[in-house]
Structure 1
C-alpha cells in the first residue's frame, strides 16, 4: 500500500485562475448541472507499472486543501469581481477524491471525473499537473539543474523584454513540476521588468504579488452548446459571462466552434463590451487578420482591443506575431509549456476535457469542441459531425 501524508505546502489556489472565475459563474447560474471529464493521452505516453495507484495517492492528498484566511484576503483585494458569497463558498470547498476514477490497463491510463459541475470544475488542472510531475518522477527523467533552468529562463525574459511585449506565464497544467514552475516565475519576476504581467496560477500569483490572469475555457461554451444548442452556444455563453461579471474579465475565447463561427456571433455589442479575444489554435497570423477585419467592419478601432495569443508559443513565434501585429491591434502573450517544462525532457501532450453534461433529472448529453486546429477536436464522432453540419463547418 502506498502511504501518504497531508502536504501543508500545497495550496487550493495552485490552479489556473479561469477555473475559479468559471466556478463562480457556475455556482450562480447552474448549481444543478453535472459534468464528466476524461483524460486524453494525445502524446500516446506509456505509463509505468503502478502509476495509477501512485496517482490515486496524490489525488487523496487533495482532500486536505482549503482556502486560508490570507488566500481569501488576496482574492478579496485583487479580484473584486469575485463576490463575497463565492469567496465564502470557496472557503468551505473541499476536493472529494471520490469524484475521480483512475484505472490503469498496462501502459494506458483511464481517468474520469464526475460530479456537480460547480465542484468537479476544479479538478482538471491539478490532475494534469500531478500526472506530469509523477510521470517524470517514475520514469527517472533527469531534468537540467536549477542553475541552468534559471539562466535560460533569465535569457528568455531578456529576449521578451527587448522585444517590448507583455508576457504572462500559463504553464500549470503541463509543467514539469511545481518547483520548476515556481523557479520560472521567480526568475521572470526578477528579470522581466514590465514585460512580465502575471501568471494563470493563482497561488504563484499570490506568492509573487502579481496578477492572476484568465477568464474562461472551452468547457464554458461546450456546456452552453449542450443546453442551448450549437447555434446559440457562443451567444448564450458570452451573455451569461456578462451577466455574472458585468464587463470585468473581458477576454473571450474564440475557438470552441472555430473562430469563423464565433465571429458571426460576436456582434457589435459583444465586440465593444469585451476587451478582446484569446487565440488558442490555428494560424495566429490568419487569426489576427480575421479579428482585425472583424473590428474594422464594425467600426471599432482594432488598436483599442487586444488579442491574447496562447497557442504553443516560443520566442520565435512571439517575435513573428509581434512583427505582424505591431500598429494593427493590441496584443499580449500567454506562454505555457515553453516556460514551465523546458527542462531537457519531452513535454507531455495530455489534456483533460469535459465530455458530457447533465441537467437535473435529465440524461447525459455529449459535448464537443471544434478547434481551429482540427487535430484538437474533442468529443464523440457523431456529435462532432452533427455540430459541423448545424454550424456549416467544413474542416
Structure 2
C-alpha cells in the first residue's frame, strides 16, 4: 500500500458497521453521533503524522461501492435490502466529518455527523492510523513468505484443536498488504477451521463469509435514547425488528455481563443464536452463559459463544478445553493474526462518546465492560450509569 494512500476498497471495513448502518438508516435516520480516538498504549506519533493521516482521510472521499461489490453483498447477505444497497451505492465519505490535530507526539482525532454516515469511519481510520504509524516510524517487518508461513502454522494449530476461527483484525492490522497475506494463508490452509472474516473486502477477495452483527455503540446509543436500564432490551428488540432472526449473535458486555443476562429473558435467549464475549475472564463468562441457558430450559449445545477478546493460541486452547461438550463455540481472532509481524501492535480504539438521538442536546455515552480498564466515556456519565444499573 503506497505511503499516505487512502483505502483501496469501499468494503475495506468491518461487516458490523454495515449491518448497524442499515438498522440506523431505518430506525434512527436523524440521529447524530460523535466519536473520539483513545490512545490506550500512549503511543507517541512522529512529526507530520496528522498531515499524513489528513491526506489519507481526504482521499477516502474517492471511494464508492462498485457493481461487483454490490453483487457480492446481494449474493451473500440477503438481509441487506435493496433500498439500503442503493443508499450504499450513493454514499460518499465526507472528510469534513473527521477532525485531526497533533500536539507534539499526541494525536487527536474526532468524528461527528449524522449517525448513519459517521458510523463507517471508525474502522478505516484506525487501520490508517496503524499503517501510517509503522510507515512513518520506519518500522520493519518479517518478509511476505514469513507472514504466510506464520499464519499457516497458526491456522493449522487451531484446526488441530478442532475449533472454528474467523479473522477479526482490520482495526489494528499492521498494513493492508499484511492483511491480504494473512487472509491468503488462512484461506489456503484453514480448511475445516477458517470460517470467514469481519472485513467485507477481504471476504470478497477470498470468497468467504463476511461475519459480524453489532458493536457496543448500538447499545450505547440506545442508552442515550431510552436510558441505561432499557438499553440492552430495546437494543435487542430493535435488532430483531430489522433482522427478523438473522445476524443472531448478541454482544453482552456494554453494561457488564451481569446486567445483560438479567435482561436477556427467555424470548431473547431462544431467538438469538448466541452471544459474543469481549471482556473479562472468558471461562467465568462461559460458565455464566451455560448456567443462564440451563436456567431457561435451553440446551447450551444449541447455542454459540463467539469469543473475541485479545485471543492467541494459548487462550483459545484453554477456552476450548473448558467448553468442550458444554456449549458451541467459535473464535474471532484479530491483532494476533494481522499484526504479528515484528513491531509491537498498537493499543488504540475509537469509541462513540456522545449521541444526539433526536433534535436536541448531545448526551454522553459510556461503555462499562467486565474489565474496568475498558470503561470508556465521561466520568460523570460512568458514575450515573453505575448508579442507575446498581453496578459496584
CA distance in 1: counterparts of 2:147 and 2:93, whole angstroms: 33
> Is 2:8 aligned against 1:13?
no
- Give the superposition deviation at 1:6: 7.5
User: Which deviations, in whole Å up to 9, do the C-alpha atoms of 1:314-355 show, x marking residues without a partner?
Assistant: 001000000000100000000000000001111000000000
User: Which deviations, in whole Å up to 9, do the C-alpha atoms of 1:280-335 show, x marking residues without a partner?
Assistant: 00000000000000000000000000000000000010000000001000000000
- Give the superposition deviation at 1:150: 1.1
Give the conservation status (yes or no) of the 8 Å contact 1:261–1:391. yes
- Which residue of 2 is the match for residue 245 of structure 1? 243
User: Which deviations, in whole Å up to 9, do the C-alpha atoms of 1:171-202 show, x marking residues without a partner?
Assistant: 00000001101100100100010200000000
- Which residue of 1 is the match for residue 229 of structure 2? 231
CA distance in 1: counterparts of 2:261 and 2:232, whole angstroms: 9
Q: How does 1:317-328 map to 2 (within 5 A)?
A: 317-328=315-326
Give the conservation status (yes or no) of the 8 Å contact 1:366–1:380. yes
CA distance in 1: counterparts of 2:221 and 2:177, whole angstroms: 34
SS at match of 1:288: helix
CA distance in 2: counterparts of 1:310 and 1:253, whole angstroms: 10
SS at match of 1:223: helix
Aligned residues: 391
CA distance in 2: counterparts of 1:361 and 1:175, whole angstroms: 37
CA distance in 2: counterparts of 1:6 and 1:183, whole angstroms: 19
Q: How does 1:75-154 map to 2 (within 5 A)?
A: 75-154=73-152
CA distance in 1: counterparts of 2:325 and 2:306, whole angstroms: 15
SS at match of 2:100: strand
Q: How does 1:20-99 map to 2 (within 5 A)?
A: 20-99=18-97
Q: Structure 1 residues 131, 6: closer, same or farther in 2, change over 3 A?
A: closer
Choose the corresponding residue for 2:302, options 284, 301, 304: 304
- Which residue of 2 is the match for residue 279 of structure 1? 277
- Which residue of 2 is the match for residue 315 of structure 1? 313
Give the conservation status (yes or no) of the 8 Å contact 2:5–2:56. no
Q: Structure 1 residues 354, 64: closer, same or farther in 2, change over 3 A?
A: same
**With structure 1 as the length reference, what TM-score do the two structures score?**
0.98
> Is 2:165 aligned against 1:167?
yes
Give the conservation status (yes or no) of the 8 Å contact 2:199–2:210. yes
SS at match of 2:80: coil
CA distance in 2: counterparts of 1:205 and 1:393, whole angstroms: 39
> Is 2:287 aligned against 1:289?
yes
Give the conservation status (yes or no) of the 8 Å contact 1:215–1:250. yes
Q: Structure 1 residues 53, 180: closer, same or farther in 2, change over 3 A?
A: same
- Give the superposition deviation at 1:5: 9.3
Give the conservation status (yes or no) of the 8 Å contact 2:3–2:132. no
Give the conservation status (yes or no) of the 8 Å contact 1:4–1:57. no
Give the conservation status (yes or no) of the 8 Å contact 1:160–1:195. yes
- Give the superposition deviation at 1:4: 9.5
Give the conservation status (yes or no) of the 8 Å contact 2:4–2:52. no
Runs of 4+ aligned residues of structure 1 deviating over 6 Å after TM superposition are 3-7
User: Which deviations, in whole Å up to 9, do the C-alpha atoms of 1:63-99 show, x marking residues without a partner?
Assistant: 0000000000000010000001000000000000000
5+ long unaligned stretches in structure 2: none
Choose the corresponding residue for 2:385, options 374, 384, 387: 387
Give the conservation status (yes or no) of the 8 Å contact 1:6–1:64. no
Give the conservation status (yes or no) of the 8 Å contact 2:277–2:309. yes
Give the conservation status (yes or no) of the 8 Å contact 1:5–1:61. no
- Give the superposition deviation at 1:157: 1.1
SS at match of 2:116: helix
SS at match of 2:255: coil
- Which residue of 2 is the match for residue 363 of structure 1? 361
CA distance in 2: counterparts of 1:10 and 1:317, whole angstroms: 33
CA distance in 2: counterparts of 1:344 and 1:56, whole angstroms: 27
- Which residue of 2 is the match for residue 212 of structure 1? 210
5+ long unaligned stretches in structure 1: none
**With structure 2 as the length reference, what TM-score do the two structures score?**
0.98
